[in-house]
Amino acid sequence: VVAVGYGVQKKRDVTGATVSVSEKDMKLTVNTGLDQALQGRTAGVNVTQTSGSPGGAASVNIRGVGSINGSQPLYVVDGVPVEFSAINLLNPNDIETMEVLKDASAAAIYGARGANGVVMITTKRGKDGKGVVEFEAQYGVQNVWRKLDVLNADQYRAFY
């Protein structure tokens, strides 16, 4: 089942260009943001890192440059359109599925806001039955690959 606009359709019945990213796909790598969860998993979606800083924003381009106001797609979280600046506040671990609507017909219900494509996000919800507590942790290690022997201040002054 794929979420399309205000409803859902069976994947075989969808005629528009859509790409689905499941929770299982997102757990294959460490994602600190939504843009990293899309990067490399969705054909026809270009995710470009615009900043060299850790956790810096990325540019998501689905249908090319569609307007002079930018090319960011419309993000819809659980049926509610949200601003691009607020989408980085969403924890990638809370996302159940993401559908990227790439063609104009799929995005037509959102009007001009969907001209650059639509990213529909479905977050996790509570389930019936016993409560389950999940814990997920990540760690990383950084080491200097090769330490260069550089001049100190006195040697640099003498060299210069």
Amino acid at 10: K
User: Buried b vs exposed e over 15-26: b needs ≥16 C-beta within 10 Å?
Assistant: ebbbbbbebeeb
111-137 pLDDT, tens digit per residue, is 777 778 888 888 988 888 898 888 878
State the burial class of residue 50 (Cβ atoms within 10 Å of its Cβ: 0-12, 13-18, 19+): exposed
pLDDT of the residue at 10: 56
Is residue 81 a contact partner of residue 139, using CB atoms and an 8 Å limit? Answer: no
Is residue 117 a contact partner of residue 74, using CB atoms and an 8 Å limit? Answer: yes
Report percent pLDDT > 90 for the chain: 6
Q: What's the start-to-end Cα distance of the chain, in Å?
A: 68
Residue 155: φ, ψ to 5°: -65, -40
pLDDT of the residue at 79: 83
Q: How many CB atoms lie within 10 A of CB 108?
A: 14
pLDDT of the residue at 13: 46
pLDDT of the residue at 151: 92
Q: Going by DSSP bridges, is the β-strand pair 80-82/7-9 parallel, antiparallel, or unpaired? A: unpaired
Residue ranges of the chain whose pLDDT lies below 70: 1-17, 54-55, 63-70, 85, 105-107
Query: Does the reported pTM lie above 0.85?
Result: no
pLDDT of the residue at 6: 53
